[in-house]
Amino acid sequence: MPENLRIIMFYKKIYLNSGKEESLKRFHPWVFSGAIHHAEGRPEEGEIVEIYDSQKNFLAVGHCQIGSIAVRVLSFNREEINENFWRKRIETAWILRQNLKLDKSSYNNTFRLIHGEGDNMSGLITDIYGKTAVMQAHSPGMHLARYELAAALKKVMGDFIENIYYKSEGTLPFKAGLESEDGYLYSGQNVSGIALENGLQFNVDWEKGQKTGFFIDQRDNRSLLEKYAEGRNVLNMFCYTGGFSCYALRGGAKKVHSVDSSARAIDLTNENVALNFPNETRHQSFAEDAFKYLEKMDASTYDLIILDPPAFAKHRKVLKNALQGYKKLNATAIEKIKPGGIIFTFSCSQVVTKEDFRLAVFSAAAHTSRNVKILHQLTQQADHPINIYHPESEYIKGLVLFVE
């Protein structure tokens, strides 16, 4: 028997209920808890398991976890999951980004290297900020593999990266006593927190900031906004680090107001505006609740509004309330924007489909009775690839509206 198969035999096995194998046969990378009939042994949180149908036919291998998603599939082939496996997956992801020319631009040194299911590495995100890779686990299995992943990442990337920072304390759904501690897995010397995106500089706080420190996924959408900004009065709601605000300023906006409920986010926005536009007088920022700000603002104050809220729904059980939130937010913006104004509106909630979001915005427009046209339908850019077998990986939904 080949050596790799001898090792594979020690993986614990999970058997599905009859008929529950169909999604795996369509290469969907999740196994839900309700599909499982029984397991041989007691797989622990994050352990690698093999998945079989009710007739004991092999289906896939993946990370086991407690919760609704019970297994995150890593491969539909019977193979060992080790550092060599991770290296091959990271190599494939790196080749894609090289084909996108994201590694060679003097204009941009910020991109996503690993996008979970989009790169067939369910539960792992890795973003590149200059010479630093920020690795974030969203599953116990990826957390347990973090040292193997870091070693494989360094082997693939070589001198392209000098630091690997692990940041997962806020993303791991642990229920079995595992612990995470953020910190550098490699180097940590000569670390620069300044990232370059399309020629603009941004302070990235990967140690304490949201996500991996910056919202890379809106790069192309920010570039589109820049083209519409000239001569307009811009409102950037949920501004976080001020990405859209900086693009609007560079695009020639008459004034830009940035709003976020977090005082820390407002500080980051002001820092980034000052970094790119010293002594800028066109920009003001406000630490206020977005809904309250919109409700009290005068009509026709702005003719370009960005609505990029945090995820309103992380689970299906709150989907209805989330859609009401999107409807209310968009209705207020549509009602109050100046005639001839443009709204960039987004949802980053994975459980909200494109159809859900569009219906919520349609309902918002109908509530105001204003004439609204869709100019663009937006999503994440190519370094956040969408696995065709996993439509949930298309998590950003966006519309650009023209309001008469």
Locus of tokens 């019977």:
78
pTM for this model (two decimals): 0.91
Low-confidence ranges of the chain (pLDDT < 50): 1-8, 176
Q: At what angle do helices 219-228 and 243-250 cross, to 10 degrees?
A: 40
Edge to edge, the sheet with strand 397-403 lists 283-287, 255-260, 233-237, 304-307, 341-347, 397-403, 372-378
Domains of the chain: 3-75 (2.30.130.10), 83-196 (3.30.750.80), 215-403 (3.40.50.150)
**Is residue 361 classed exposed, middle or buried when 0-12, 13-18 and 19+ CB atoms within 10 A define those classes?**
buried
What are the DSSP calls for 221-237, one per residue? Answer: HHHHHHHH-TT-EEEEE
Q: Residue 178: what are its φ and ψ, rounded to 5°?
A: -70, 150
Give the pLDDT confidence of 191-236 residue by residue, as tens digits.
888 999 999 999 998 988 888 989 999 999 999 999 999 999 999 9
Euclidean distance between CA atoms 323 and 343, whole angstroms? 18
The two beta strands, 58-64 and 12-16, are unpaired
At a CB cut-off of 8 Å and minimum separation 6, what does 372 contact?
334, 365, 401, 402, 403, 404
> Where does 233-363 show beta strands of DSSP type E?
233-237, 255-260, 283-287, 304-307, 341-347
Closest CA to 76 of 44, 53, 42: 53
| Maximum distance among all Cα pairs of the chain, rounded to whole angstroms | 75
pLDDT digit string, tens, across residues 133-192: 999 999 999 999 999 999 999 999 999 999 999 999 888 865 545 667 899 999 877 788
Q: Which residues contact 192 (CB under 8 A, 6 or more apart)?
A: 130, 131, 132
Contact 172, 140 (CB under 8 A): yes
